[in-house]
Chain A
Amino acid sequence: MFEFASPLLAWWAAITIPIVLIYIIKVRLRRRPVSTLLFWNQLFDEKKPRAWWQQLRHWLSLLLQLAFVLLLVAALIDPLWSWQKNTQRRIVLILDNSASMKATEANGKTRLQSAKEIAKGLARSLRQGDEMSLVSAGGQSVVHVGLTNHARLLIDGINNCPETDAPSALLPAIATAERLLKDRVEKSEIIILTDGCIDDFETIQNNPLVKIYGVGKTQENTAITRFQVRRSVMDSVGYQVLIEVTNSGLEDIKTKLELTLEDNLVDVVPISLKPGESQTRILDHTSSTGGRLVAKLDSKDALSTDNSAISILPQRAPLPITLVTSGSLFLKSVFESMPLVELTITETVPDSAAKTGLLVIDRKMPEIVPRGRVLIVDPQTNTDLFTVGETLDQPLVARVEKDSPLTQHIRLDNVLFPGAKHLTFSSPVEALIRDPLDSPLLARMKRPGGDIWLLTCNLEQSDLPLRIAFPVLIKNAIEWFQGSEGQLQPVVPTGSFATFSIPEAAEEVGEAKQDTLKDQPDETKTVVSSPVENNTESAVESTVAVESTSVEPTRRALQAISPSGKSSSLSALGENALIGPILECGLWTVAPASDSKASDAKASAPKSVETGQASVPTDKGKTDYRWTFASNLTNRSESDLKPRGNFLTADSLSVVSLGGRAIWFYLALLGLLLVTTEWWLYQRRVVG
């Protein structure tokens, strides 16, 4: 029944011999002279011990001492149960630290805390030759501790395994575990500690290496399972909120859904739900100021993470447009019809466009095109950027770039652009509309001082202004100039990735840093300063993948600031970056690594939250930009706190680990108890 890990240490049992000798020699006691034995003789002769155990009291002392020594020796030789004789077990412990593991049980502990206690017990029960690894599965698979026999390292790793708001990623974690165990599958097993709020139960259960142990019981929970905000199609300052609330508990619930914008109450919706029922609401509201839009359920249930959801409503600031014209009624009318436009009409061409505005020049061109964002209509004279040639013979629209945002939603087939000129540009341009001879009728030009949109067409002679396409074309141009300012950002579910564009003028990483990063592939996995220390494997918390459009993409140093204020460094190539998987609900901020104000701004949230992406040219020509996005759980599977299958109970795992300790521990504990008892009964008086 028993095996011994270190049988040779049984020689220590020989120490009982000197103990017996010492016990015998102990007859030489402390000697004390007394004037008479009269009373002591009476005391001990007249009141002899009557109970049999009193006769053996000194033998009992010896027996207790011998039992203490033998128990210590037994602890040293480290007995194993028969099922433990298969030494050198290799265990990969997958700890589910997904959002549902944050649910609070009846005992006041979260499921993750309970799972950690069990995991620590398992780590402490490791024997000589056993190895265990710790992998977490919250949103992504992270190896916290590689295969090791060091229980303390494992316990530290378990303690440092963070809570996440992301859905569980057990399948990737199992794949990781299998890679860790692939060199020797026998005597290997994958132990999953989860609450069972997973949909891939059968797939996981069919894996012969996997044993799933469940923690937690079914809990009542009401959650916001969908939350998206979009701009209203009817109102430029309006927005629509899509909210879905699901009752995943076993009882009917009545609750209220509160919608607040920057802590100001916007709407309250009463909701009644039966078990398993979901309700979807679409709420229409208007706001030009923007801010944090928060939906919150007035509900106290086991999981609080999914009781609120947040989104960012960008501020809709009016766009200042300066129109330089000698009286173009069409241009004036089209800009005046645009909402959120502050139109200024003048006949004098300014030196530059307003800092955040747009300059529109009709026909009358200066020799040097002003700095800033400039929209040029029907140029008549040469400038430093282009030369105006002859009037085109057949200025018929032959080809329109459908993929460009500047020409979306318009149809201009066979429309005549009378008065269009042949233009020769000093630098490459992107022709969006061409005539049959490929001469550009509408083009855009990029330049460091501000982009240029150019249309060559005499609006007075053309029927273009009378077409629906004309205001759409102008609106596209304005939105293109504005970039993503004022755009609603989609809410990112936790566990997924978020993409964002980096302005071209963003600060670049210094040359020295570029050198160190040259060897990395284009798609770079960046280890963010992980909250988990002592990881033996890479702990990939966020990944930045880059969709590079330039030949030699620029590498930029960024930082991501989580809702809890943790800052993580990132590196990006090109202009589009990908960050994720997102593991925490709330507002995330991405800013240049040199932006020390980013974290400060986060710290002073919520009032100073900058919504959406902002690109602000600085005096040094660099760009100080910041991108904020919201992330919510909105996951039905995680909010449903009912186990999906029949798992092994975590209590049985405790039995396997004997309450979290090896047998030698209990033997040593029992020995300590015996020696304490012996001291209390026999030695305490001597000490006293």
Chain B
Amino acid sequence: MSLFDSDFLKKLEYLSLVSRRVFRGRLLAQRRTKQLGGGIEFADHREYTPGDDLRYLDWNVYAKFGDLLLKRFQEEEDLHVYILLDASKSMDCGSPNKFDYARRIAAALAYIALADLDRVSIMAYADKPLDILPLTRGKDRVLSILNFLENIKTGGASTDLATVAKSLVNRAQRTGLVVIISDLYDQVGFRSGVDLLRHRRFEPHVIQIHTAEEANPTFLGDIELDEMETGQRRKITVTEKKQKQYRQLFTEFLSSIETYCKTYSLSCTRSTTDLPFDELIMRMMRASGIQS
């Protein structure tokens, strides 16, 4: 079975119908921003100040009440969606495979964005960008995006989101929504990278993925652990007590990410790979109040 089979595509279509609005776009009649300007949809009034464009003066109010109020319209724009997909070796583990799961989520989000006439760019990264799909728009580009995702392989060295974020900032023509799909097993890099994106007025959205085994390891006894990203090995004796400490440490790790995201009002979604990807998307929609 290929990564994106017909069932997967049906689910994407369903998600697209369900999500009337996931992202804010710039295209007229499709997306509105909080920016007020030359749109067609009335937003509110403000007092006139000298120098304002008299075309937006509300003459009806002036005629009735004698107040000089300026009409404000909600400016609509299309959205640039940048999907940062963690393709480091640490993602290539678990059952179901963590990287496959991440690619499905990326495909789903890209499909929904394209369906809403937004622009989508996908960047697979590890210590640096490994593969980049430039900004593209139109639903007819879905297949090329799926092909792109299907052909991505894990590789590279240790994850370094800061470097990747710097690269994205330099490359991006405009700011937009940055969806980071990763296991985030790079705490320092992760924070500095997200901070950079925030500072450059991107809107980061973090989707953290991990397997159940990572959260709750079951092995005991003398064992040699082999880290997939770096090839580093470590001999340890795992006891029940150590297992308990590990679980506590992992929970603290998740909590720290959650706290970080709350601190900066970032959207954060966490899931294990055993949760169906469409369920995860639905959960994200519910969290943002788009779908109930």
Contacts and interface: CB of A to CB of B under 8 A. Distances in A.
Interface of A: 26-44, 47, 57-58, 682-683, 685-686, 688
Interface string B235-262: 1111110100110011001000000000
Nearest to A44: B236
B91 to A, nearest CB: 7
Given A30-B223, A686-B220, A35 B249 contact: no
B220 A35 contact: no
Contact of B90 (A30, A35, A42, A44): A35
B239 A685 contact: yes
A36 B185 contact: yes
B249 A42 contact: yes
Contacts of B239: 685
Contact of A35 (B219, B222, B228, B253): B228
B98 interface: yes
Contacts of B170: none
28 contacts: A26-B222, A30-B222, A30-B223, A31-B226, A32-B219, A32-B225, A33-B225, A33-B226, A33-B228, A34-B93, A34-B228, A35-B94, A35-B214, A35-B227, A35-B228, A36-B185, A36-B229, A37-B232, A39-B246, A40-B236, A40-B246, A42-B249, A43-B246, A44-B234, A47-B245, A58-B237, A685-B237, A685-B239
A39 B250 contact: yes
Given A29-B235, A39-B249, A43-B249, A685 B229 contact: no
A30 B187 CA distance: 29
A40 B245 CA distance: 10
Contacts of B77: none
Interface string B188-213: 00000000000000000000000100
Interface string B160-201: 000000000000000000000001010100000000000000
Interface centre among A26, A28, A44, A57 (most CB of B within 10 A): A44
Instruction: In the A-B complex, list the 4 residue pairs whose CB atoms are closest, starting with the nearest.
Output: A686-B221, A685-B220, A35-B90, A685-B221
A37 B245 contact: no
Tell me which of B211, B224, B239 has the highest count of chain A C-beta atoms within 10 A of its own C-beta: B224
Contacts of B253: 39
B234 A37 contact: yes
Secondary structure dominating the interface of B: mixed
Nearest to B187: A38
A685 B219 CA distance: 9
Contacts of A33: 93, 225-228
Contacts of A36: 90, 183, 185, 214, 227, 229
Given A29-B222, A39-B249, A686-B220, A34 B227 contact: yes
Interface residues of B, number: 37
A39 B213 CA distance: 13
A35 B208 CA distance: 14
Nearest to B211: A35
Contact of B222 (A38, A41, A686): A686
A259 B180 CA distance: 106
Contacts of B246: 39-40, 43
Contacts of B214: 34-36
B235 A35 contact: no
Contacts of B90: 35-36
Nearest to B235: A29
B185 to A, nearest CB: 4
A32 B226 CA distance: 6
Contacts of B230: 37
A30 B240 CA distance: 18
Given A35-B98, A38-B187, 13 more contacts: A30-B221, A30-B223, A35-B94, A35-B228, A35-B229, A36-B214, A39-B253, A40-B234, A42-B249, A43-B246, A685-B238, A685-B240, A688-B221
Contacts of B211: 35
A27 B235 contact: yes
A685 B190 CA distance: 36
B226 A35 contact: no
A32 B246 CA distance: 16
B233 to A, nearest CB: 8
Contacts of B249: 39, 42-43
A57 to B, nearest CB: 8
Given A43-B245, A44-B236, A47-B245, A38 B185 contact: yes
A31 B236 CA distance: 11
A29 B223 contact: yes
Contacts of A682: 222
Contacts of A34: 93, 214, 225-228
Contacts of A688: 220-221
Contacts of B219: 30, 32
Contacts of A40: 225, 234, 236, 246
A326 to B, nearest CB: 118
Interface in B64-107: 90-91, 93-94, 98
A459 to B, nearest CB: 115
Contacts of A683: 221
A480 to B, nearest CB: 97
Contacts of A41: 234
Contacts of B236: 40, 44
A686 B237 CA distance: 10
Contact of B227 (A27, A30, A37, A685): A37
Interface centre among B94, B220, B223, B228 (most CB of A within 10 A): B223
A627 B225 CA distance: 90
A650 B189 CA distance: 80
A32 B183 contact: no
A683 to B, nearest CB: 8
Nearest to A681: B239
Given A38-B185, A41-B234, A31 B91 contact: no
A165 to B, nearest CB: 63
Contacts of B242: 43
B127 to A, nearest CB: 14
A39 B253 CA distance: 9
Contacts of A44: 234, 236
A56 to B, nearest CB: 13
Nearest to A36: B185
A334 B222 CA distance: 112
Contacts of A39: 246, 249-250, 253
B244 to A, nearest CB: 10
A249 B226 CA distance: 82
A36 B211 CA distance: 12
